[in-house]
Amino acid sequence: MSLIASVAIAIAQKKYTPIKEGDEMPSISFTFLESSQISKRPIDFKGRVTVLDVWTTSCGWCILTMPKMHDIQRKYGKEVQVILVNDAEDQAKVERLIAKRSNIPRLKISLPVVLGDSLLTKVILKHVEMPTYMVFGKDGRFVKKVFGAENVDRIVDALLHGKPIEDSISVKVQTAQKAIWQSELASGDVNGPTNIMFTPEGGSAISCHRSSIIDLYRFAYGEFFTRPRRELSFVEPMPFNRVIFESERHGNPGKHYYNKVQSDSLYSYKMTAPPNSSWLKMSGAMANDLDNWFGFESRIEKRIVKYVSLTIPDTTIFKTVDGEFSGSLDEAEICFKNFTIQQFLRNWNASLAGEKYYMGRYPIVYESEYKGRIKSMCAEGVDTIDPTAVDKAISKFGIRFQLVERPVDMLVIRDKKMLE
């Protein structure tokens, strides 16, 4: 059984400051609740290397790497103590996660857990990213804040065997984590980033927060991009204006959070997947989850709709240039420099459809073959919400922005019973 903990902190009007490498942990106490209350202070862990794993249930990467922390505890035994610290969530939420994983040997959480200690993690050991690992030596002094479970293993091994610490930190990790498909959907206003994670050790996870039903589907049907030179991977959600929502049960599926929707229309979704899972498999599994949980059927279908056809009839005026991309788009100005067509479309959908409307007025479809960059395009005093005005303003740059009505691939979300 996991040790679920509340925290008793002897503050005594003392002002605590962030700890630095080499400092001893201040005299605060952790109270672990099991059959009886067990209170421990940092001095009680002297003689062992202590690792504080700062995590939350909404952090996909935290959950994905937690088995590794159990491996570290088993590997080094009484020479090490790993403690899971959750300063952001209540006991009931943590207990639900532990219960859900209790019958899965590889994923069972058996390490001691400290809850609600904001003094420890927000003041004494300030952290931003999660998971964050705080490592203390056998003498009780703070060694280092570490990112990456494999780096924790290396540092612990170095401390126990007198090796240099810096030589133990590595960005690249060799060992793949074992994992199974696991997902969770929750309702409510849950803060956190929306992203997809591919860990160095091969793990894969999805984490979505503060999302409406449509936002979740947009992410599941989004396009995966990778930029090797910047070591960056991301998912571009399907634009608002490419979604058709048909439901008799959900008259209002919830608006995008830019529009300050009510908390009861927001959801969070988390998934952990086996090592090296592709975005295609993960997004397909997410779409199936959403269909099953919400009772919808989602699919890409051809629908006759009005859309803006973006074409480039004449590329002779274009010049490919080096340098950074820059773009500006608001209600009265269009100004881009060294942009690709994809960047133009992404900026347009994000700036106008994302902020001005619940769903953009018209989808934008690029229907030319040109794939290069455009040196510059700047037009002021333009009603950017009016396609006709935009077409007139940018036609001098060799670009047409014309409203047409033809079949377009759309994401259709509807009740399953409507298909019967």
185 with 100: CB under 8 angstroms?
no
What would the DSSP string read from start to end of 119-145? IIIIIIT---SSSEEEEE-TTSBEEEE
Type of residue numbered 69: M
Count the Cβ atoms, other than its own, within 10 Å of residue 383.
13
Which SS3 state, helix, strand or coil, does residue 349 take? helix
4-168 CATH? 3.40.30.10
pLDDT of residue 183: 74
Parallel, antiparallel, or unpaired for β 267-273 and 30-33?
unpaired
Main-chain phi, psi angles of 129, to 5 degrees: -75, 155
Burial class of residue 353 (count of CB atoms within 10 Å of its CB; 0-12, 13-18, 19+) = buried
What would the DSSP string read from start to end of 214-257? HHHHHHHTPEEEEEGGGTEEEEEPPPGGGEEEE-SS-S-----G
DSSP H helical segments within 321-375, as ranges? Answer: 341-348, 354-356
User: In a structure prediction context, what are the per-residue pLDDT tens digits for the chain, which is 420 residues long?
Assistant: 344 444 443 434 456 677 778 888 777 766 664 533 455 666 677 789 999 888 877 776 777 778 888 989 999 999 999 988 887 777 777 887 788 777 766 667 888 888 765 556 566 666 656 778 889 898 888 888 887 777 888 889 989 988 877 654 443 333 334 445 767 777 765 555 556 666 555 567 888 877 888 888 988 998 887 765 545 567 878 877 788 888 877 766 665 444 444 445 778 888 877 777 888 888 998 999 899 888 889 999 999 988 888 888 766 555 544 545 555 555 566 777 777 777 777 766 655 444 443 335 677 888 887 777 776 777 777 777 777 888 888 888 778 888 889 998 999 998 886 544
pLDDT of residue 294: 85
Which pTM does this prediction carry? Answer: 0.54
Distance of CA 131 to the CA centre of its chain: 13
Sorted by where each begins, the domain ranges of the chain are: 4-168, 182-298+413-419, 304-410
Burial class of residue 197 (count of CB atoms within 10 Å of its CB; 0-12, 13-18, 19+) = middle
pLDDT of residue 230: 47
